[in-house]
Structure 1
Amino acid sequence: MAKDLLNRMLGIIPKIISEEQAAFVKVRSISDNLLLAQEVFNKLRHSKANNGFLAIKVDMEQAYDSMCSETLKKMMVDLGLPFKFVNMVLEYDVLIFVEAKVGSMKKVKDIVEGHCKWTGQKINCHKSSLICGNSVERRRKVHISIFMGVKLVEEFEYLGIKMALRRLKKLDFQILLDKSSIKLNAWGNRYISLTGRLVMVKIVYLSLPFFIMSHSLIPMKTLMEFERLCRYFIWNKCDGKHGNHYVAWEQLRKPKQYAGWGVQSAVNRRDTLRANFAWKLLENPDSFLNRNLLAKYGVNLWDSAMSRGDFSSWKIISSGWNALKNFVRWKIGNGSKINVLKDIWILDKNLLKWPTFVGSFDDDNITLDFFIHEGNWDCAKLSLYFGA
């Protein structure tokens, strides 16, 4: 019944739920919120504005139990839904970015208190937290924290990913290694065959870091340590003693059709998992996240000559593009955005990498529209530059 009701609402849900709410709405993803949040955190980190900026993580207390049923009914009716329609309204962590001024904080506090008064919900002050940008002076940070009734912290987790005004280090991801060790130790106490260990590693263990390593700049040393624990689990004996590694890790990682065992490498899959973000940027430039990225970095987002500094979201998407770029090529329209020599528009590599191509171009940045006239190829120019 719940699924049928949801299917009937698919057409109107995106219209009544703002694009900032990503969870439980088809074609939206919390990944956009996470990457955009990291982008804003870099602004907090590097901004030299006089007032500075801050981020407030608002955690609602027991959202499922405290939501007033009468409020739900009134909200549904006001939105134009059938009066008898009953659905569950879910509340999750809310992340608010605002200028670090007393006037702005008063407005935020009034909005939050008004929301709680109308819905019957309460803010969990113990789980809510506040981070101020580096340009905000210490005295004002404390004053804002006391005024809002929210604790002042240096970092917090948002949707499972750590947010901080510094570059994350290996120690920040120690919890991943600890969870991995606990799981492996629980498995290691049992008598499991080699085949069983491989199955458990491929299905369960290697999936543990997927979400974290695709949404944050996890250090390579952490992933290498993660794989080391994996190798020890496969070959060590049941009593914990060291066992011989009869097959090299590189051979284990190969697909079965190439005489391997099909064990995926966390190190090698990092960029592959992030490729989805790069593809979405190409396929849907009007999404909530991509509009902000394109407005900041411009349409030439993949220009390697551009400097991105320490911006986490760009580095994540860029690493995904590195895994994706060898499998995509331009679809030719008017050709105005395609670099003839440097972009991939013929088969799987650009012209500069073709061993038989001898370039005779005076300008390396010539675009493909030079060879197109009124929607058709200009055969005379093609023959002149590329030969018969």
Structure 2
Amino acid sequence: MYCEGSGQAINKEKSSIFFGRNCPDSVKDRVKNRLGIHNETFHDSYLGMPTKVGNSPTSTFKFLTDRAWQNVHGWSDRPISRAGNETLLKSITQAIPTFVSSCFRLAVATCEKFRQIVSDQWWGREDGKKKMHWRSWAWLSTPKSLGGMGFLDMALFNQALLGKQGWRLLTEHDSLCAHVLKCRYFPNSNFWNAVVPRTASATWRGIIHGRDLLKRGVQWGIGDGRQMSILSDQ
């Protein structure tokens, strides 16, 4: 077994595999024998991300907002210029959820909490109380070229990163991820017509959320028309 793209063999003794709760033991045994990996474990996190998103994504991703809060309060008592405050918020605080945002759809409450943390830190505090917010978040999140401050709108940023994952599925058909997702969610159709079953993973639900953004700007040539459905395609 080789790691795709690296050309290096995988150490099966150090590898592990885990299955869903409803997976029969007979299927587990066949898969483990076929892959040659017999260590069956389940880790709560991998590369800093949760391996399972439950029914409450707000609780699952609470560690992101906690980390952001600790970040801003770790240097809030130090004298810092307005430009320095802006740089720290953009390059450190708002960069905390980037990796997770590229794989999962963040809950609305999580995005709102990030907005609150950044906005409160930008306007500052006095005697332990938040100062007046003189401008709206819409202005703060507007690009500087349009007269705003250029802070990230976390919900839009999250959808853009997930749309990038969907674009990879469209352009990199031979990747392992593309093969697995196609066999699981749209074996007899294409990415644009794929649905979200009730048992869909959080990863797939996030990619479909990104697909909604792709549909706004993607165009495709009709060519000979063999792949076009005159009734369903726009």
Q: Normalised by the shorter chain, which TM-score bucket?
A: 0.7 to 0.9
Q: How does 1:213-362 map to 2 (within 5 A)?
A: 213-237=101-125, 239-296=127-184, 297-298=186-187, 299-303=189-193, 306-309=195-198, 310-340=200-230, 342-343=232-233, 350=234
Counterpart mapping for 1:48-197 below 5 A: 49-51=23-25, 99=28, 108=37, 130-131=41-42, 155-164=43-52, 166-197=54-85
CA distance 1:130–1:201, change in 2 (3 Å):
same
| Equivalent in the alignment of 2:14 | none
Amino acid at match of 1:323: L
Larger Rg: 1
Cα offsets for 1:282-341 (capped at 9, x unmatched) = 11111111012222222323226x342232222121112112222211133322222346
Which structure has more relative contact order (CA 8 Å, sep 6+)? It is 2
RMSD: 3.0
CA distance in 2, matches of 1:326, 1:255: 20
Deviates more, 1:262-271 or 1:307-316: 307-316
1:168–1:217 CA contact under 8 A, matched in 2: no
Report the alpha carbon displacement of residue 204 of structure 1 after superposing the two structures with TM.
1.9
Relative distance call for 1:240 and 1:198 in structure 2 (3 A) is farther
The CA deviation at 1:244 is: 0.5
Distance 2:166 2:96 in 1: 22
AA partner of residue 213 (structure 2): A
Is 2:8 aligned against 1:17? Answer: yes
Q: Distance in 2 between matches of 1:177 and 1:14?
A: 34
**Cα offsets for 1:160-184 (capped at 9, x unmatched):** 2111374453222222222111110
Q: Shift of the alpha carbon at 1:264?
A: 1.3
Q: Secondary structure at 1:204's aligned position in 2?
A: helix
CA contact (8 A) 1:253 1:264 kept: yes
Uncovered stretches (5+) of structure 2, i.e. residues with no partner = 12-16
- Corresponding position of 1:5: none
Q: Percent identity?
A: 23
Between the aligned partners of 2:123 and 2:74, the Cα distance in structure 1 is: 15
Asked if the contact 1:188/1:238 (under 8 Å) is kept, the reply is no
Question: CA separation in 1, counterparts of 2:205 and 2:218?
Answer: 20
Q: Normalising by the residue count of structure 2, what TM-score does the alignment of the two structures yield?
A: 0.80
Specify the code of the residue in structure 1 equivalent to 2:110. Answer: T
CA distance in 2, matches of 1:294, 1:230: 38
Measure the CA separation in 2 of the matches of 1:241 and 1:315.
39
Structure 1: segments with no counterpart, 5+ residues = 1-12, 22-39, 54-98, 113-128, 132-154, 344-349, 351-388
SS at match of 1:16: coil
Cα distance in 2 for partners of 1:181, 1:321 equals 31
More strand as a share of residues: 1
| Counterparts of 1:212 and 1:203, CA distance in 2 | 16
CA contact 1:275–1:319 (8 Å) conserved in 2: yes
Q: Distance in 2 between matches of 1:256 and 1:240?
A: 30
TM-score by length of 1: 0.50
Q: What is aligned with 1:135?
A: none
Cα distance change on mapping 1:276 and 1:249 into 2, 3 Å: same
In the comparison of the two structures, how many residue pairs are matched? 220
Cα distance 1:262–1:164, how it changes in 2: closer, same or farther (>3 A)? closer
Residue 205 of structure 1 is matched in structure 2 by 93
Any conservation in 2 of the 1:190–1:238 contact (CA below 8 Å)?
no
**Farther off after superposition, 283-292 or 295-304:** 295-304
| Partner SS state of residue 216, structure 2 | helix
